[in-house]
Chains A and B, each alone.
Chain A
Amino acid sequence: MNTKEQLWAPVIRAKDTIPQIMFDVVLALLPCWLAGIIFFGFPAFWIVLLSAVTAALVEALFMRYPWRPKGLIGDGSSLVTGLLVGLILPPTVPWWIPIVGSVLAITIGKLVFGGLGNNIFNPALVGRAILLLAFTAPMVKYVRPFDAVTEATPLLTMRSFDWALVWGNVSGSIGETSVVAILIGAVYLLFRRVIDWRIPVGYVATAFAVAYIWGLDPWVAVTAGGLLFAAVYMATDMVTSPVNPMGRLLFGCGCGVLTILLRKYTSFPEGVTFAILTMNALVPLLDMLTVPVIFGARRSREQRFAATIAVAVVICLAWGVLAVINQTVPEEVPVTAEGVYLPLMETLGTDAYETETINDKVYYFTGTREAPEKVALVGSEQGYHGPIYFYLVLDGSGKIEHIQILTHSDDPGLGSLVTRRSFLDQFIGLDTAELTMDVDIQGITGATISSRAVIRGVTNELERFQDAFYGSGAADAGAGYVDGVYVAEASGFGGPVKVEVSIDNGQIAAVMVLAHGETPGISDEALKVMPQRIAAANSTDVDLVSGATLTSKAIVAAVDKALAQAVPTEATGAAAEPGGMASNVPDGVYRGRGAGFNGDVVVDVTVAGGKITAIEVVEYADTPFYAQAAFAQLIPEIIEQQGLVDTRSGATFSSKGLLQAVEAALSGAAAPVGQGLASDLPDGVYRGKGAGFTGDVVVDVTVAGGKITAIEVVEHADTPFYAQAAFAKLIPEIIEQQGLVDTSSGATFSSKGLLEAVEAALTGKEAQ
């Protein structure tokens, strides 16, 4: 109809108009915004402001004249959308994200459908969905409140309820963390009758129930992440929710089920966005199915019968679907220890793990008992006030992949600092049997006893793990082989079988069949199992695979030949396969650095026999959730291919950083770590000379025990201001790395001179 003012009965009207409703929603959103600003600081303020202003401006540009306040704000709906877009963003997003999000929300989410009242999907969620898919990394980069340290969303880290979730001082999107702030807004909206209780109550209650049924902590499910915020502010969006009371209740319930379903079974940690968008699409159907019975009409007996049948069918279908899901995805009984959920599936990478009790301790592992790929366990150690329980995931060789504190009874604020990732991440990658505080692991000031307890506990568990899986005998059974990769072949049933044997730490680390002419089907089992058995037993004295005896025997023979090459008396690397990235690199551990998403990725690359045998990430600053997954996938690939591989989507920056670091390590930019420049030199002081900017740089290098212990600049002619700063920075680095390092910018010539001089001194090999 036309929009001209008309007077028609009723000539009086309620005071609530669209702008009034929108104003109420804006008002109700302010506590969430305020909580966001308190917890995440000024970025939270700017992000939301940017998104709100952008949304208002975009709609005004399309619909009205933006240069008057009334034209800019209009009915206020664009402001609400803009605020919502901002409040559901992480507080770390770059400035353009809220702008892009708001533009998408208003244009694609709303205006293309015909503006207010005509859009099918919640505009703010459309904006977020597109951002989430297009700019995944910044959209899931959450930080801890107050100190802005990167942290995964509590949906991934928290398995039990914590009051922090209620106050909101957890990582998350700006407006989504504080339950208290959301509830304040919800009470106001309910009081003002802007929202109907059926949607939020249906949503939260259903999510709670479903989470409970599926063995998640229901309180965490409803308080962590964006569920509550969405239930109050997003699902209740009038335009995109059903109009009939029963429809609204069903809509809420549907959102609840889908949210938990998506959280549990998809790769998105947060299911809210797509749950609500899906339900939005079902609104016309819900509207049609839930038409209320009018006054004075009754459903006939047939209709009631049909309705009962329909409800029964729906319930049966839902039950069936759930059953099918539970069958396809094997039912996961949540494993808990000390009442805390163990993220076994998340950390072991599969739910097909074995559970076995060895030496009175329960181990969860993948691979076989003899050759575990990953092992998870729960350990404990007496802390300051009581036992500290921790969860540990090791790789097959006993290297720590993951550690997390399950419970502790130490003081909040002090002892509880050991739960911080900054402390725990130091353990990642370590496998030393003896860990020493402040050498291997930096303890936490003020929580020394707790720190020490964790370190002691981890050390104990590492020992027990070695005993349990490899026993005392296995460790030195095959010792004596020279590390490296050896290739050999022996004739099998259908031709030569070519194998590659990797020796690590003097033991058979892996056996791989490179080529064979065996009959497919018959020999498959042998080709798969034999290498595993050999590697597990660290010997070729293993059972053969029946039915494929010839193939088995061929593999054994080939491995025997390969091992013959690895006998210490033979020259190292004699049979190493040429061609890899590291083929010309001498044995040693090389350190390299690459640029990740948040900061540098530092790796130690171990080269043995011209091959990369191990890559260890020493340091990185990216979101552990994404980065670790990328590393876990990439590193084996690099080792297998002996070269750079494709990056992993979803964590492109971390992947690139890793590859860059590996390349840097091997390209000779860095010197071997363990085996420094001076490793072959007798003790003494060596003098060397290099060309600086205005003259020579002369240094005295002191070598003691094969290591550079001191470097003294004897003479130089460069500008002292620049040169001295460069020397002061470079010399400790050279000593630390026992090799040549990157030059210091700003004094490139002086730095080069110094490095040249050090090199000259040590290559002169003549002590003074």
Chain B
Amino acid sequence: MLVKTFPRGGGHIPHRKDATQNKPVMVMPAPKQAIIPLSQHAGAPCQPIVKVGDQVKLGQKIGEAEKYISAPVHASVSGQVVEIGERTLLDGTKAMCVIIENDGLDEAEAAVQQDYTRLSSSQIAQLIKEAGIVGLGGAGFPTHVKVEPPKPIDTVLINGAECEPYLTCDHRLMIEQPHKLIEGLKILMQAVGASQGIIGVEVNKPDAIRVLEQACAEQSYIRVVGLKVKYPQGAEKQLIKAALGREVPSGGLPAEVGCIVQNVQTAIAVADAVVRGIGLYQRVITVAGAAVYDPRNVLVRIGTPIQEVIDFCGGMGNPAAIVAGGPMTGKLVQDLTAPVTKPLSGILVLAKDEISYELNHPCIRCARCIDHCPMGLQPNYLADWSNKGLYDQAQRNYIMDCIECGLCSFVCPAQRGLCRSIQAGKQAVRAGKTAI
């Protein structure tokens, strides 16, 4: 197989996927109490459409998206709404949540089965929106927005790179539900009118590639592309460059080069939503790290507190850090009562010897950040300007093109927090702290 990759920058980082990549997904029991944040996605929060005391069914919509770039939320358990109030989320911020007391019945709403081939683009988009599907790779961008692109699309790319260390949930789903994945891909292709579908998988998952190639053998317009093991192979722009050779223009969207990219779990969720009428109320996450006793991939209801997920995986011994998401781009978990949300791909319970601190020694201008930056930026200077508040200069030098992959911080021998500084700089630019 021809192994493809993006040409510029990138680097090799440890995999640490051995503990979970061969373990089938386990279904975790529903929590006693589900905490469902009303904002689990990029864009505007949705508004609650239930009141305290209401009985809700499994999969029932409880929050309505009023803005275009937003997504509704659904009940992940059946039972009674006991509170609508603020709760701490994974990243330590507070947000409005609907708290549902589980009655243990899992009484579901009547599902509507449909033949997607008869649906129009807008109908599919509507179904995707109603199911509350957002990008499940980590960004949480509402999927219905992506399937109504402003430009003609010829290719739908499924991102099966899963280049972050530890995470194996997409890997397991590609092996366990290849047909559902391909079904989701076909629905997405129909929705955007694409003529080809590509599933990009890093070649360190040969079993997934084999299974997918078998599954799509009969569809000539769908193919599996092996990707070189190089971080960040799963970053949207890098994936498009690797698989298609197309370069998304600076500041542009993938649609400008005629393609959209969806995560593996998103495609599966699309299939569930469109064909089976199931809303997005559960997802598969990887629980890993040396400090968790029984690392595994679990199918978990949205709204389950992190503590319960960890307990389900055998509990933890003396962790040095708990990270929501991958170790490169994830966030440190501040509060173990925080619930699982839609974009959460993993919970890493890391021991002392697995992590490395930001020490901020002086920059020795080794330029490794520049050599490794997949976007061709100068992270050392961007971070420096951000720290000094020179946001104009940072913006002129394309700080907004940073994809926040964290590779600059990873390779920095001075262990500087380059990516963190750049994130802060981007926020400042977004907040309009520039003269431009």
Binding site for B on A (CB under 8 A): 1-3, 5-14, 16-18, 20-21, 75, 77, 115-118, 196, 238-245, 248, 291-297
The answer, among B241, B325, B364, B367, for a CB contact under 8 Å with A18, is B364
Pick the 5 closest A-B CB pairs, nearest first: A117-B362, A13-B356, A10-B406, A243-B367, A294-B376
Per-position 1/0 for B25-36, Cβ under 8 A of A: 000000000000
Does any Cβ of A come within 8 Å of B327's Cβ?
yes
Question: Could you list 19 further interchain pairs (A-B, Cβ under 8 angstroms) beyond the known A10-B406, A12-B327, A14-B410?
Answer: A1-B417, A5-B357, A7-B357, A9-B325, A9-B328, A11-B330, A13-B411, A18-B414, A21-B366, A77-B364, A117-B363, A117-B414, A238-B367, A240-B365, A243-B378, A244-B378, A292-B370, A295-B237, A297-B250
Residue of B nearest to A193 (CB): B368
Contact B328 A10 (CB under 8 A): yes
Query: How long is the Cα–Cα vector from A245 to B411 in the complex, in angstroms?
Result: 17
Min CB distance A237 to B, Å, is 9
Residue of A nearest to B407 (CB): A10
A–B pairs, 16, beta carbons within 8 Å: A3-B359, A6-B358, A7-B355, A10-B410, A10-B419, A11-B332, A12-B328, A12-B356, A12-B410, A14-B413, A238-B365, A241-B365, A292-B370, A292-B376, A294-B401, A297-B398
Contact B367 A10 (CB under 8 A): no
Contact A296 B248 (CB under 8 A): yes
Does any Cβ of A come within 8 Å of B432's Cβ?
no
Known: A9-B419, A11-B356, A292-B370. A238 touches B398 (CB 8 A): no
B residues in contact with A196, CB < 8 Å: 367, 371
Contact A294 B330 (CB under 8 A): no
Residue of B nearest to A238 (CB): B366
Min CB distance A690 to B, Å, is 76
Query: How long is the Cα–Cα vector from A296 to B421 in the complex, in angstroms?
Result: 23
Does any Cβ of A come within 8 Å of B43's Cβ?
no
Contact B250 A7 (CB under 8 A): no
B residues in contact with A116, CB < 8 Å: 361-362, 364
Secondary structure of the B contact surface, majority rule: loop
Segment 206-223 of B: residues with Cβ below 8 Å from A? none
Contact B354 A12 (CB under 8 A): yes
Query: How long is the Cα–Cα vector from A11 to B416 in the complex, in angstroms?
Result: 12
Contact A10 B360 (CB under 8 A): no
Residue of A nearest to B411 (CB): A14
Residue of A nearest to B350 (CB): A11
Contact B370 A295 (CB under 8 A): no
Contact B415 A238 (CB under 8 A): no
Does any Cβ of A come within 8 Å of B375's Cβ?
yes
Min CB distance B112 to A, Å, is 40
The answer, among B250, B252, B376, B380, for a CB contact under 8 Å with A243, is B380
Query: How long is the Cα–Cα vector from A116 to B362 in the complex, in angstroms?
Result: 7
Query: How long is the Cα–Cα vector from A3 to B414 in the complex, in angstroms?
Result: 11
Min CB distance B334 to A, Å, is 12
Min CB distance B209 to A, Å, is 26
Does any Cβ of A come within 8 Å of B44's Cβ?
no
A residues in contact with B127, CB < 8 Å: none
The answer, among B248, B327, B360, B361, for a CB contact under 8 Å with A11, is B327
Does any Cβ of A come within 8 Å of B377's Cβ?
yes
Contact A12 B355 (CB under 8 A): yes
Does any Cβ of A come within 8 Å of B23's Cβ?
no
Segment 399-436 of B: residues with Cβ below 8 Å from A? 401, 406-407, 409-417, 419-421
B residues in contact with A77, CB < 8 Å: 364
How many CB-defined contacts (below 8 Å) exist between A and B?
158
Min CB distance B361 to A, Å, is 6
Query: How long is the Cα–Cα vector from A245 to B247 in the complex, in angstroms?
Result: 21
Contact A17 B420 (CB under 8 A): no
Contact B358 A296 (CB under 8 A): no
Min CB distance B254 to A, Å, is 11
The answer, among B329, B364, B409, for a CB contact under 8 Å with A13, is B409
Does any Cβ of A come within 8 Å of B13's Cβ?
yes
A residues in contact with B104, CB < 8 Å: none
Contact A75 B361 (CB under 8 A): yes
Contact B375 A9 (CB under 8 A): no
Binding site for A on B (CB under 8 A): 8, 13-14, 165, 237, 241, 247-252, 321, 323, 325, 327-332, 350, 354-368, 370-371, 374-378, 380-381, 387, 397-398, 401, 406-407, 409-417, 419-421
The answer, among B329, B368, B387, for a CB contact under 8 Å with A10, is B329
B residues in contact with A239, CB < 8 Å: 364-365
Contact B321 A7 (CB under 8 A): yes
Query: How long is the Cα–Cα vector from A77 to B363 in the complex, in angstroms?
Result: 13
Min CB distance A192 to B, Å, is 12
The answer, among B325, B365, B375, B420, for a CB contact under 8 Å with A295, is B375
B residues in contact with A294, CB < 8 Å: 250, 375-377, 398, 401
Query: How long is the Cα–Cα vector from A256 to B377 in the complex, in angstroms?
Result: 28
Min CB distance B151 to A, Å, is 16
Residue from A8, A241, A295 having most chain B Cβ neighbours under 10 A? A295
Contact B329 A9 (CB under 8 A): yes
The answer, among A7, A13, A14, for a CB contact under 8 Å with B332, is A7
Min CB distance B220 to A, Å, is 31
Min CB distance B19 to A, Å, is 15
Known: A294-B401, A295-B401, A296-B248. A12 touches B415 (CB 8 A): no
Contact A6 B14 (CB under 8 A): no
B residues in contact with A13, CB < 8 Å: 356, 409-412, 415
A residues in contact with B409, CB < 8 Å: 8-10, 13
Residue of A nearest to B361 (CB): A18
Contact B370 A243 (CB under 8 A): yes
A residues in contact with B321, CB < 8 Å: 7, 11
Min CB distance A201 to B, Å, is 16
Query: How long is the Cα–Cα vector from A424 to B414 in the complex, in angstroms?
Result: 57
B residues in contact with A118, CB < 8 Å: 362
A residues in contact with B401, CB < 8 Å: 294-297
Min CB distance B396 to A, Å, is 10
Min CB distance A465 to B, Å, is 60
Query: How long is the Cα–Cα vector from A317 to B55 in the complex, in angstroms?
Result: 82
Min CB distance A87 to B, Å, is 21
The answer, among A3, A20, A245, for a CB contact under 8 Å with B371, is A245
Query: How long is the Cα–Cα vector from A13 to B419 in the complex, in angstroms?
Result: 12
Residue of A nearest to B405 (CB): A10
B residues in contact with A238, CB < 8 Å: 364-367
Known: A3-B360, A12-B354. A297 touches B371 (CB 8 A): no
Query: How long is the Cα–Cα vector from A245 to B14 in the complex, in angstroms?
Result: 26
Contact A8 B237 (CB under 8 A): no
Contact A296 B252 (CB under 8 A): yes
B residues in contact with A295, CB < 8 Å: 8, 237, 241, 247, 250, 374-376, 401
Min CB distance A30 to B, Å, is 21
Residue of B nearest to A247 (CB): B367
Query: How long is the Cα–Cα vector from A116 to B161 in the complex, in angstroms?
Result: 39
Query: How long is the Cα–Cα vector from A296 to B367 in the complex, in angstroms?
Result: 21
B residues in contact with A2, CB < 8 Å: 360
Query: How long is the Cα–Cα vector from A238 to B413 in the complex, in angstroms?
Result: 12
Query: How long is the Cα–Cα vector from A245 to B378 in the complex, in angstroms?
Result: 11
Min CB distance B233 to A, Å, is 14
B residues in contact with A243, CB < 8 Å: 365, 367, 370, 378, 380-381
Min CB distance B137 to A, Å, is 16
Known: A13-B410, A294-B401. A7 touches B364 (CB 8 A): no
Contact A296 B413 (CB under 8 A): no
Residue of A nearest to B383 (CB): A1
Min CB distance B407 to A, Å, is 8
Query: How long is the Cα–Cα vector from A245 to B8 in the complex, in angstroms?
Result: 12
Min CB distance B424 to A, Å, is 10
B residues in contact with A14, CB < 8 Å: 13, 410-413
Known: A5-B357, A296-B249. A20 touches B14 (CB 8 A): no
B residues in contact with A12, CB < 8 Å: 13-14, 165, 327-328, 354-356, 410
Min CB distance A571 to B, Å, is 81
Residue of A nearest to B414 (CB): A18
Query: How long is the Cα–Cα vector from A20 to B387 in the complex, in angstroms?
Result: 26
Min CB distance B385 to A, Å, is 13
